[in-house]
Amino acid sequence: MAEKLPVELLQTILDQALYVLDEDFEDVSPVSPFSRATSSSVDILQVCTRWNMVGLPLLYKTVIIRSSAQARALGTTLVRHASLGRLVRMFRLEASYESFTPAVLANITNVIHVALPLDREDSTPHPTDIEFILEQWRPPRLSLITYRQGTGSSLSIPVYTLLEKFLSHLPLVRHI
């Protein structure tokens, strides 16, 4: 039955199934809304070859990295299939940045919204990486995620360094 659906209709259906709400993408609560997912977005593309062909570009519209394994997998994929990087429109980093090299990041060319962590030792990007992202991607929207628990906790010194980098590129960003 699904093979009889016009491509345009299947694309609309898959787009809705793979869509990430802005409020979830920008969520800064201590527990990520993506940690509660019961299945992977990739599962929907494994229904059949046609769904994979139609849905793959939709899958790459929003990239959310939550683990080292995901970071390595995306890095490997973008090295092998650089054209997929052009499909990325929203990029949220929640963990492990070490797998992203400038060569991998350079393949991502059409980002309009970036969400980066500020205060996790395992995931806070190095200031030079932030500079690369802001200068190369020039995202019109930027979300800064903080995972501080409790009240009255102070920001660590590396966060101030990161904020200085963000502020130095403020003219490049239209919405924080």
Query: Residue with structure tokens 């991998």?
Result: 104
pLDDT, position 81: 92
Model confidence, pTM = 0.78
Bridge partners for 116 per DSSP: 144
Compute the distance between CA of residue 165 and CA of residue 153 in angstroms, rounded to an integer: 22
The number of helix segments (H) and strand segments (E) in the chain equals: 8, 4
What Å distances lie between residue 5 and 10, 98, 110, CA to CA? 6, 42, 30
pLDDT, position 32: 81
The mean pLDDT value for 166-175 works out to 59
HEC-encoded secondary structure of 36-58 = HCCCCHHHHHCCCHHHHHHHHHH
Compute the distance between CA of residue 110 and CA of residue 139 in angstroms, rounded to an integer: 8
Asked if 119 and 153 count as a contact pair (C-beta separation under 8 A), the reply is: no
Q: Which residue has the higher pLDDT, 175 or 28?
A: 28
Domain membership of residue 51 as a residue range: 2-147+154-172
pLDDT, position 145: 74
Burial class (CB in 10 A: 0-12, 13-18, 19+), 24: middle
Run of H or E residues at 64: strand 62-65
pLDDT, position 148: 57
The mean pLDDT value for 106-132 works out to 72
What's the token pair of residue 57?
Answer: 């570009």
At 135, the amino acid letter reads: E
Tens digits of per-residue pLDDT, 55-89? 999 999 999 988 878 888 888 999 999 999 999 99
User: Would you state the torsion angle of the CA atoms of residues 62, 51, 39, 28, taken in this order, to the nearest 10 degrees?
Assistant: 10
The count of domains in the chain is: 1
Q: How confident is the model at residue 34 (pLDDT cuts 50, 70, 90)?
A: confident
